[in-house]
């Protein structure tokens, strides 16, 4: 009997899903998405005289001064291990509003740019932010794409979709299987009935023949 389907068949996609969720969520939950500054080049300084004080800050967090960045039109490259690194830590599914600013002695800071920094923006762990006449910077975040990037999530959701898709398939197959079983049982019953009828008929004919034999005997006895 195929109905109900064996437990192991119904459990298998579920166990697979649990395994996948575990595989994807363990590195996602425990990896640190630290963002470091890789390169930066500023195209302007907002001060008329003296060296600029450039800093990076995410909304509600502390400033990070970039002590080396003093000249415009000069490319600064960093190793990611400097005393002021990393610049920020990103949550898995939420962006942070961050910006690059220049300290100003007399008025609020000058803004190079402010933007939403998101884990999903990092391609192969790298993200470039360019603003015309202001700056060009590249940021690194190896764990942003490695564990919680679009790739992992995409596979995960497609896995969920295939599981969803297989539910109707399982239902259809089960219904078909049970219909086949019913047809087979009905056919078997009909066959048994037919056989029984034939057997009864044969027995009846045999009785008849025996009757004939008796009649023959009687007939013979009448003739003589
Ligand atoms: C990435 O995550 C691992 C833990 O899973 C951590 O040890 C490592 O420091 C993180 N790297 C960065 C650059 O955040
Ligand atoms: C911000 O700076 C203050 C004072 O230096 C420090 O106590 C605090 O831990 C810092 N916060 C973060 C998120 O680094
Ligand atoms: C920004 O800087 C990166 C790294 O130096 C470079 O590859 C890229 O071409 C620059 N982009 C622009 C628009 O200048």
State if pTM tops 0.85.
no
Nearest ligand 2 atom to the CA of 62 is 1
Closest ligand relative to 33 C-alpha = 1
Nearest protein CA to atom 4 of ligand 2, as residue: 62
Is ligand 1 within 6 A of the CB of residue 125?
no
Contact 33, 143 (CB under 8 A): yes
Per-residue pLDDT of the chain (224 residues; tens, 9 = 90+): 555 555 555 555 554 444 444 445 444 456 789 999 999 999 998 877 778 899 999 999 999 999 999 999 999 999 999 999 999 999 988 899 999 999 987 888 899 999 999 999 999 999 999 999 999 999 999 998 754 434 444 444 444 455 556 777 888 889 999 999 999 999 999 999 999 999 998 888 888 777 666 666 655 555 55
Nearest ligand 1 atom to the CA of 146 is 1
pLDDT of amino acid 63: 93
Nearest protein CA to atom 14 of ligand 2, as residue: 62
pLDDT of amino acid 1: 53
């Amino acid at each position: 009997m195929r109905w109900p389907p064996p437990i192991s068949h119904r459990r298998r996609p579920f166990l697979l899903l649990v395994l996948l969720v575990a595989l994807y969520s363990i590195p996602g939950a425990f990896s640190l998405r630290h963002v470091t500054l890789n390169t930066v080049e500023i195209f302007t300084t907002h001060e008329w005289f003296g060296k600029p004080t450039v800093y990076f800050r995410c909304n509600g967090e502390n400033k990070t001064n970039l002590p080396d960045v003093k000249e415009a039109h000069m490319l600064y490259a960093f190793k990611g291990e400097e005393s002021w690194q990393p610049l920020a830590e990103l949550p898995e599914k939420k962006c942070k509003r961050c910006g690059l600013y220049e300290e100003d002695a007399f008025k609020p800071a000058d803004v190079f740019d402010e933007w939403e920094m998101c884990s999903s923006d990092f391609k192969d762990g790298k993200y470039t932010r360019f603003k015309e006449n202001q700056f060009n910077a590249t940021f690194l975040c190896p764990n942003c794409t490695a564990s919680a990037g679009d790739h992992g999530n995409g596979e995960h959701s497609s896995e969920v979709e295939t599981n969803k898709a297989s539910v109707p398939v399982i239902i259809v197959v089960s219904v078909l299987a049970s219909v086949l079983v019913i047809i087979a049982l009905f056919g078997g019953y009909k066959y048994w009935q037919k056989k029984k009828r034939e057997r009864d008929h044969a027995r009846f004919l045999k009785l008849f023949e025996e009757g004939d034999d008796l009649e023959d005997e009687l007939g013979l006895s009448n003739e003589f």
